[in-house]
Structure 1
């Protein structure tokens, strides 16, 4: 884990650049000796699905559309996917559609819209908004006029029928951080999802479920685990590994002579009182 050079000592895969170590992702410190407290993960996505229904007024249902292996079904499916690509291609996260069922009237289509969206704490709200935009995109498309006529009017959608039946967002794997953390450090990191991004946070981060709290110091993560680097060690003695109990060296330096002086004065006072009493007793006798 350690690389030594003539000019410096870079750890954990760091590279000496003449004046300092260039650390690999996930490490920091003068010699890359510390694991980063927080690692931001860019462009993490999850899959989502939106279940929808649509009615196509300019097509007539035939019995062979019940059979997914028929030529009629396959041709319809190909045309439908292409039309949906044109309608939805500008919508956030759109990937494709899957038809589940075709039924009579003119043709009713039960289908799923496949999405890929960025992960955040508000991803469900994002997918809900996209779902609403899916309906608007169909109802506002300009391929067909109100009479189902148009240069590109292969499918004339009934704007009064299009609706969403449900939507679902896949969860983020809790082990996602394992892909970014070296094996020895994995036990000290957890996944954190915020409104804007995704992070792997160490136990040194206060947002960790079980933070390593260094009261008067800095928490660091090393291969041996989390440790506290106590602050102002030139001015304080620390009595525990969490830097929570400390004694001022200046206070001790000042306090010890004062204590000795107080004790000396007390002893001198006692001896003086005792001598006075002996003198008085001798006089009375």
Structure 2
């Protein structure tokens, strides 16, 4: 209908995807009156001939609400069922369901009463097609004691059940009538206990739909398991943290083992260390002279001879600014000897 689905008889759900949980056939077994009425302020369309079409269902619902309001004070009234629609403007063939009558009551008299009540009902002053109510005239009424029961109860349930769901219904007799029930019907043998869930009849059979509770997750084919969302979150967090910790420990252990297994470069031998130390010491003496950096020590070769010369005619001492002056006592003794 643009904003919602108008479901066929004995269908349910926001998209008419479920079968009705229970079908009440009690009215089919009791007395009823078949009536005909002509609605003058509605236009007939060909799709209204099909009982499953949206046009037929919309008109049938409007007509049923109108008749319920008119017949509600009639003794034994149990509702109506629109059987068919035809042209002119809209001719309605419908059935009025009644409760069983007392032994001395006349069903024919009850049919005449229903006809009179329908024609005496108040109707809208404006009988245009846009009027809110229906303008109609009841034309006939025929009484019938009971619906024919040529079929047994199981076949009767399957005939009234939706086509794709009929195998899931079975008859259940009560003190006052007949019900076609499923495993989703409460308080009957074989009914499902869905705990806090909701039982719905699907194309695959009765199923429990678990609720989304604020603090729990429901699971199981009967919604019998409830898992705390807080506990589940903590468990997942602890499990993830423990996994990361284990991986970190493994990485540390692997790194340590690899570091310990790496070969070390051998250090220099003692002989090589001695040679290196000697070479470093030689580099500290200019021109390779070991005693050139010793301050306050000098040596003069030669005895007698000219000043500043040795016995071989030359002086073996080369004065250097890096050599300190000799002590005064040493100079004095040298001069006396000379």
Same fold (TM over 0.5): no
- TM-score (normalised: structure 1): 0.38
> Which has the higher Rg, Structure 1 or Structure 2?
2
> Would you tell me which structure has more strand in proportion to its own residues?
1
> Would you tell me which structure has more helix in proportion to its own residues?
2
- TM-score (normalised: structure 2): 0.33
